Amino acid sequence: MFNKRKNKTFNYNSRFSKDEIKNVKTESDTKSEITSEWKRTRKTGAGKRKVGLPLLILLLGIIIAVMYYLEYKL
């Protein structure tokens, strides 16, 4: 009497094929490699800057002392 409804079927193709998904994964791997390289570079550069900052402050102090000496003592 009543016909049963058939389940709807869809011919769905994923937005990315399996090959494209693999390419996306490799791109994300390369991005993570680049970020890790930058982190390593930044850490090594920070050590160099830590030594230079006190030296610059000392140099600034010496310059201020010399300017004071030249202005008031001469």
Rounded Cα distance, 17 and 31, in Å = 21
**Apex 50 CA angle, 48 and 53, nearest 5:** 110
Rounded Cα distance, 71 and 74, in Å = 6
* In the predicted structure, residue 67 carries a pLDDT above the cut 80: yes
Q: For residue range 32-63, what is the model confidence (pLDDT) as tens digits? A: 777 777 777 776 665 555 667 888 999 999 99
Task: Kindly give the residue spans of alpha helices, DSSP state H, lying in 1-74.
Answer: 18-72
Question: Residue 23: its pLDDT value, please?
Answer: 64
In this structure, what token pair is assigned to residue 17? 């094929």
Domains of the chain, by residue range, sit at: 16-74
